Each structure stands twice: as C-alpha cells, then as structure tokens.
C-alpha cells in the first residue's frame, strides 16, 4: 500500500507530492559533470525549473554563456535550456540557493584515495552544503556511486542534526546514475532508473519525481541500500568479466590463439554468454573505482572481496602486459624501446568521448617514457593534457598525417575512436601494437596486445 496516500493533507510530504505532480517543484542538481549536466537537462525537458550547482566557477560561467563543455551531449544542450529563460534554468556556485529547491540531486565525484580507500569528502561536503539551508519538505537524492549505507550513514545524520525527521520533514533517497557517455543508444532519460528511499515515503516521492523526467522504467526498490548495492553489483560484474577476458587474452596469446576470434566464436551461443572485450587496462570514473568501495565496506563486516581484488590485480596489470608486447615487437624489428619513437593512438579511456579519467593510456605513456622511448599521442577529442590526480603528462595531440604515422617506430592503439583513418594507419605505420582489435580487416604489420 502506498504510504504517501496515507500522509496528512498539508503535511510537507503531501505538499511536495503536489508540487512534483504539477511540475512546479524546483529541481536542483549538485555537481554538473558527466552525470549531473544531462540529469539537469532531463528535468528541464520534463518541464521543471532547474538550478545547477557546482564548485567549479568555470563550469558555471560556461553555462551562463550557453556553452556545453561536454561535447558528446550535443552543442545546443545548454543554449536550448537558456533560451527558455532564468525562470526555467539557472546555474550557480552560490550554495545558499539550495534552499530554493524542492528536490536536490547530488552527483558529486566519489574517487579513491591513495590506498584505494573511498574518498567521500565530496559527498560529505555536498551533504553539509545541503544541510546548511535545509528546510522542511525537501527531497534529497544521492546519485554518486558508493558503498551501501552511505546515504544513511553519511548524509542523513547531517539532516537530522538540523532537527529534521526522516519521512516527515525531510525525504532522502538514493538513485544510482547509469550514464554511458558516448553511447548512441542510450541517454539519461532512456536508461531504466533505480530508486530506493531511506524510508517508504522518501522512496515514493523520489520515484514519482524521476518518473516525470525518465522515459524508461523507474524501478522503485525497497530501500536505498538495495539501490546502492545494485549499482556496485553492475560495475563489479563488468570489472570481473573484463578481468576474465584479459586473463584469457594473456593465456591465449601465449598459445598463439587470437582472443578476439575466440570471443566472436563464443558469442554465437544464444544464451549463457555475454561478450566482454579485453583492452589495455580499465578506465573511466566507474569500473576501476567503484568495486573498491565495496571492498572497503566489506572489511567492516569481516569479509574479503576476493573476486574484486583478483580482477583488480589482473586489470591493473594490463598496461604492463601491453608495454612488454611493445618491447618484444620492437625487439623483433631489431630495435630497443630506448630511443624509439612511439605514437599512442587514443588518450580517452573509451571511443568517441573526451573523458581521460583513469585512462590506461597515461600509464602506457609513463611506462614507455620510463624505458627511454620518445612518446607522442594523437586523440581528436583530447587536444592537450594537463596534470591529473595520478599522472603528470604534459603533451599536445599530434596531427595524424600519413607522414607522421610513417615516422614512428611503433604505433600503439589504445583507444579505437571511430573517426580514425585505420586504412591509412595500416598502410603507413612501420609497426602497430593493437590493444583493441581496431586493425581487424585493414592489414598492416600488426601485433595484438
Ligand atoms: N561518468 C560516468 O559515466 C558515471 C556513470 C555512472 C555513475 N557515475 C558516478 O556519478 C558521480 C559523478 O561522476 P561524474 O562522472 O559526473 O563526475 P564529474 O567529475 O564529471 O562531475 C562532478 C562535478 O561535481 C563538481 N563538484 C565536486 N564537488 C562538489 C561539491 N561539493 N558541490 C558541488 N559540485 C561539486 C565538480 O566540479 C564536477 O563538475 C560519481 O560518483 C560517479 O562514480 C559516473
């Protein structure tokens, strides 16, 4: 039975319910990155007034100029919202304005610390900002990927300290983002959305809100913890299966068998097998990071997470496997890594996006330079690099001309952007080390790695 239908008329829950139903609720999104910006746009498209909040003033200024800094979302995403005026869309670094919002959706980063421990400082800071202006009747939803119980243990106490009562004066839920940047098949509004409340009324209000903006199914699960754990299961499933094919790659490579052909063959089975593909290592803000959130939390309950640790070990070893293959391939050509000229194709962690977070290309570059190679990169989506949390690679993307390609001792394919002229690379490169099977069907002097 719906708990919401039983709340007293004029209670904060009933008032928020009405405001969501008639789309007069103001929706605030905190953290306007790969997850927050498209989410803001989805609620705007559903007819809500939206306010975006970010600590990064450059993002706020860009939004006020009508600029979209996330190119894969389309050039006119922000200008379209701006056209409808400040009554429908605003962006600000003034967090005292959080109190204007009926619903606040927090999409801040959840990275790892130096020892693979969760860094919840952004979630904690965001909850403190929300608590500072909290008023009765607000719905707060955490979207960041994190371990089960984060919403209850990290966020809720900050709201209760302000005298709020869960399910009566404040409503708190968790709804994981399943964004797949660069995907042509799915967008924020067309990916089914999980929603779980810290209590039944919060869950119902949050599910109601998301149903207004998400065209796909909104799956209302029983608790926030189920939603938090489901998000981790999805990402751990990927990390473990990618590790499995990476291990198969290493073994089959030693046997002289092409793992890519093996996957294509196995894929013909119509049930019980899902294809995952090997690569130079894990990248992005989710798969290399989120599994360790569970590992950390599991220790509190006295349980090791062996699948996660093992798959992390294998996936983290892939850049070294690739570097070894490069060294052997150069050796076969009578060259050493030292003083060789190497071109890395693709800096982003996956095709057709500009996201370089945790990209294994950086590790490849650093390892090759450490061995004395002269390394350049080409990436049409990443014109230059800047210092990042783990890497300090200061380079500009070189042009991918036939002459340039011919001048390198080795071309390493780290990311298979669809705009790359693979036929030209096949024809001109002296030696190609391909971690993505990008050269399939193009010929060339290719070593798969
Ligand atoms: N990128 C993805 O594909 C993806 C997919 C699913 C889930 N997630 C999860 O979503 C969350 C956000 O990821 P993202 O990729 O959007 O990160 P992002 O780095 O692209 O964006 C985060 C934004 O939050 C801002 N920020 C940081 N601290 C803030 C604060 N206290 N208040 C307001 N703004 C703040 C940053 O300036 C940045 O603009 C993470 O937990 C991530 O694991 C990401």
- pLDDT, position 91: 97
Look at the alpha carbons of 153, 156, 162, 164 in this order and tell me if their dihedral is positive or negative.
negative
Cβ contacts of residue 313 below 8 Å, gap of 6+? none
Mean pLDDT, rounded, for 242-271 = 98
Which of 320, 400, 388 lies closest to 359 in space, CA to CA?
388
- Decide whether any atom of ligand 1 lies within 6 Å of the 53 Cβ: yes
- pLDDT, position 371: 98
- pLDDT, position 284: 86
CA of 107 to the centre of ligand 1 (A): 5
- pLDDT, position 182: 76
Beta strand 341-345 with 410-413 is parallel
* Alpha carbons 379 and 354: distance in angstroms, whole number: 9
Cβ contacts of residue 211 below 8 Å, gap of 6+? 218
Q: Residue 362 pLDDT more than 90?
A: yes
CA of 356 to the centre of ligand 1 (A): 14
- Decide whether any atom of ligand 1 lies within 6 Å of the 147 Cβ: no
Q: Residue 67 pLDDT more than 80?
A: yes
Give the range among 84-88, 322-326, 422-426 with minimum mean pLDDT.
84-88
* Alpha carbons 73 and 39: distance in angstroms, whole number: 11
Are the CB atoms for 53 and 28 separated by under 8 Å? yes
Q: What is the pLDDT of residues 122-140, one digit of tens each?
A: 999 999 999 999 999 999 9
pTM greater than the 0.85 cutoff: yes
- Decide whether any atom of ligand 1 lies within 6 Å of the 144 Cβ: yes
Residue given tokens 């200008």 in the structure block: 79
Indicate the top mutation candidate among 30, 35, 93 to test ligand 1's pocket, ranked by most ligand atoms within 8 A of CB.
Answer: 35
HEC profile of 201-236 = HHHHHHHHHHHHHCCCCEEEECCHHHHHHHHHHHHH
- Decide whether any atom of ligand 1 lies within 6 Å of the 145 Cβ: yes
- 275-277-278-281 Cα dihedral, nearest 10 degrees: -120
Number of C-beta neighbours around residue 267 at 10 A = 11
- Decide whether any atom of ligand 1 lies within 6 Å of the 286 Cβ: yes
**223, two tokens:** 């608790």
Q: What is the pLDDT of residues 260-291, one digit of tens each?
A: 999 999 999 999 999 999 999 998 888 889 99
Cβ contacts of residue 252 below 8 Å, gap of 6+? 258, 259, 262
Q: At 74, is the pLDDT very low, low, confident or very high (cuts 50, 70, 90)?
A: confident
Helix pair angle (259-266, 224-255), 10° resolution = 130
Which of 155, 131, 129 lies closest to 142 in space, CA to CA?
155
Indicate the top mutation candidate among 91, 109, 141, 193 to test ligand 1's pocket, ranked by most ligand atoms within 8 A of CB.
Answer: 109
Q: Is 286 a catalytic residue?
A: yes
């Amino acid at each position: 039975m719906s708990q919401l239908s039983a709340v007293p008329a004029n209670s904060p829950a009933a008032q928020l319910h009405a405001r969501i139903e008639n789309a007069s609720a103001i929706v605030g999104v905190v953290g306007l990155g790969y997850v927050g910006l498209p989410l803001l746009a989805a609620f705007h498209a559903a007819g809500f007034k939206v306010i975006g909040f970010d600590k990064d003033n450059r993002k706020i200024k860009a939004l006020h100029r009508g600029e979209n800094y996330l190119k894969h979302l389309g050039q006119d995403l922000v200008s379209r919202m701006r056209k409808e005026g400040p009554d429908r869309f605003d962006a600000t670094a003034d967090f005292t304005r959080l109190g204007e919002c009926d619903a606040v959706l927090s999409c801040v980063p959840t990275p790892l610390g130096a020892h693979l421990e969760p860094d919840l400082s952004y979630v904690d800071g965001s909850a403190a900002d929300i608590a500072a202006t909290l008023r009765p009747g607000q719905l707060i939803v955490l979207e960041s990927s994190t371990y089960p119980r984060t919403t209850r243990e990290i966020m809720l106490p900050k709201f209760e300290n302000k005298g709020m009562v869960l399910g009566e004066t404040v409503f708190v839920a968790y709804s994981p983002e399943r964004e797949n940047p660069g995907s042509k098949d799915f967008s924020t509004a067309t990916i089914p959305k999980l929603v779980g409340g810290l209590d039944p009324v919060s869950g119902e209000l949050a599910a109601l809100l998301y149903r207004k903006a998400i065209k796909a199914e909104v799956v209302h699960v029983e608790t926030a913890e189920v939603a938090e754990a489901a998000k981790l299961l999805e990402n751990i499933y990927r990390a473990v299966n990618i590790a499995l094919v990476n291990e198969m790659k290493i073994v089959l490579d030693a046997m002289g068998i092409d793992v890519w052909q093996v996957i294509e063959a196995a894929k013909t089975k119509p049930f019980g097998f899902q294809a995952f593909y090997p690569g130079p290592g894990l990248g992005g803000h989710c798969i290399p990071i989120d599994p360790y959130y569970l590992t950390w939390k599991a220790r509190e309950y006295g349980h090791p997470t062996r699948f996660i640790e093992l798959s992390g070990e294998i996936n983290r070893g892939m850049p070294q496997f690739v570097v070894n293959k490069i060294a052997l391939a150069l050796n076969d050509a009578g060259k050493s890594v030292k003083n060789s000229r190497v071109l890395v194709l693709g800096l982003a962690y996956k095709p057709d996006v500009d996201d370089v977070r945790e990209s294994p290309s950086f590790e490849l570059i650093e390892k090759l330079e450490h061995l004395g190679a002269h390394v350049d990169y080409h990436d049409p989506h990443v014109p230059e690099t800047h210092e990042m949390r783990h890497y300090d690679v200061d380079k500009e993307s070189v042009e991918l001309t036939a002459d340039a390609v011919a001048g390198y001792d080795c071309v390493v394919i780290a990311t298979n952007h669809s705009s790359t002229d693979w036929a030209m690379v096949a024809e001109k490169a002296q030696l190609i080390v391909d971690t993505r099977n990008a050269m399939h069907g193009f010929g060339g002097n290719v070593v798969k790695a």
